[in-house]
Amino acid sequence: MSDFPFLLAMIVVPAVGAAVLAALPATRQALARGLAMAVSLLVLLLAVLATVAFDPGGARFQLTTSVSWIADFGVSFALGVDGIALVMLLLIGVLVPVVIGASWDEQAAGTRSMRTYWAWLLLLESMMVGVFAATDVFLFYVFFEVMLIPMYFLIGSFGGPNRQYAAVKFFLYSLLGGLVMLASVIGLYVVSNSELGQGTFAFDALRQLDIDPGVQKLLFLGFFVAFAIKAPLVPFHTWLPDAGAEAPIGSAVLLVGVLDKVGTYGFLRYCLPLFPDASRDLAPLVLVLAVIGVLYAALVAMGQSDMKRLVSYTSIAHFGFIALGIFAFSTEAATGAVLYMVNHGIATGLLFLVVGIVISRGGSRQIRDYGGLAAKAPLLAGVFLLAGLASLALPGTNSFVSEFLVLIGSFPREPVFTILATTGIVLAALYILLMYQRVFHGPPRGVLAPPPDDAAPTDGGGSTAVLTAPAPARTSVLRDLSRRELAVLAPLVALVIGLGVYPQPLIDLIDPGVQATMSDVGVDPGGSAPEAPGGTD
């Protein structure tokens, strides 16, 4: 079974599905959504089968496929995964069907078509798989840039009132980072041509290069800027709150749950193995940005009145923890960072979905427009609370183990940064629980406030008072989760609880890849510190 081209199939199947959806008549919405769900479930099945075929104790990269693409420049369509990339493919496989299910009954406004929405989602899935599966640096760059296109149209065509501004800002920030990275990709080719006599973009060959430390720093910075924007790290983060707030809920789930992980994945996959000396030298700078991100984003999240912007800022804080785990140069911390990437996608994806359900009920993203919702929608309140507790890494939820591994692995190497980052946990409890309390408890207000007596005349002429909200809308706000919504949320709820109780299967997949990466930087499997330049600690 390991000979089957799982990775190639996971790229081709959703791309073909997107093309078929785009070709369907606009009137065939039922067929379009059924086809979109079937394709996404097939990709999930391929991801599960790929995991079964993967041997954690085997070669570093498995399930490989390589076809010469641009031979004169050493470019190949080369695919392969280690455990780090494989768990991200599993995350993609889980989230896309959930996102399609969440939009099952939605109707696009105006001339926009849900058929087109689902086609862009499947194309985005194809590109995301390619980013994590590429083992040729040039191919990685191509997927890195091309995946911006479907997300741009998902935000710009189907998002909120300021969608055009958010889409352009997202695209320009990411494109700029990609162009900076392209300069470093070309630099790697030049260095490989100088050392090997023939230029190459193959990851394994580039990893063996002995690059001058000064050149390493320049090349590292090119990749770092692109990944810091994508992650995002402070101060490269300003596009995310706008994009997360204006994106349709399903797209926001994939934006924060998967796309942003390309940045932290890039740190681990490319920056550390290809530029080990530069990674060690510049690690203090990255750690400062990571800790600033944890504290700054948490403080800003506490002041947000828009629920979607609040969740977006929480993600910036979480990415700070992930960067801390990566650049602490500890196998435990790096394993926790990769696990954090997966668990954040699950927990924040669930939180975004329940926030989207609340917004669809009330027609407002403002926290102040809600209150007392738990009395009428207890299931919705319960799932919202679970998602919030997972986001703040409460023991028993999936995020706890990953955050614990990051902190316990980082403290021996970077105690000051670790202690500062830990204060973000306290702030996380504040902004999550305050949002939950204001939306679901207390007296009903805003869209949930009791309407005035519509039988009471406002004057002596017999006219009636105008309701503050139409009665049908008020009934919709008070409606609890439907069976379809429960079915959509159930997989993520199960993963939040299941991985909180027993995360070992994912750790077993991740650990060999992390150990190989740490060895590239000079960390032995026992987690010893990397050697500083000159051979001293």
If one compares 151 and 528, the residue with the highest pLDDT of the two is: 151
Is the pLDDT at 458 greater than 60, yes or no?
no
Classify burial at 240, counting beta carbons within 10 Å of its beta carbon; exposed 0-12, middle 13-18, buried 19 or more. Answer: buried
pLDDT digit string, tens, across residues 336-353: 999 999 999 999 999 999
**Please, which residues have CB within 8 angstroms of residue 461's CB and are 6 or more apart in sequence?**
none
Helices 331-362, 307-327: axis angle to 10 degrees equals 170
User: Can you give the length of the chain in residues?
Assistant: 537
Is the pLDDT at 217 greater than 50, yes or no?
yes
Q: Are 141 and 184 in contact (CB under 8 A)?
A: no
pLDDT digit string, tens, across residues 63-73: 999 999 988 88
pLDDT tier, 446 (very low <50, low <70, confident <90, very high otherwise): low
Residue 536, SS3 per DSSP: coil
pLDDT tier, 93 (very low <50, low <70, confident <90, very high otherwise): very high
What CA–CA distance (Å, rounded) separates 388 from 392? 6
Determine the pLDDT at residue 451: 59
Determine the pLDDT at residue 442: 82
Determine the pLDDT at residue 468: 29
pLDDT tier, 477 (very low <50, low <70, confident <90, very high otherwise): low
Is the pLDDT at 46 greater than 80, yes or no?
yes
If one compares 319 and 537, the residue with the highest pLDDT of the two is: 319
Q: How many CB atoms lie within 10 A of CB 161?
A: 9
**Please, which residues have CB within 8 angstroms of residue 263's CB and are 6 or more apart in sequence?**
226, 227, 228, 229, 230, 231, 232, 233, 319
If one compares 458 and 361, the residue with the highest pLDDT of the two is: 361
State the average pLDDT over residues 279-292: 94
Average pLDDT of the residues of the chain: 88
What CA–CA distance (Å, rounded) separates 438 from 308? 15
State the average pLDDT over residues 518-535: 61
Is the pLDDT at 268 greater than 80, yes or no?
yes
State the average pLDDT over residues 475-499: 88
Q: Are 137 and 188 in contact (CB under 8 A)?
A: yes
Is the pLDDT at 142 greater than 70, yes or no?
yes
pLDDT tier, 29 (very low <50, low <70, confident <90, very high otherwise): confident
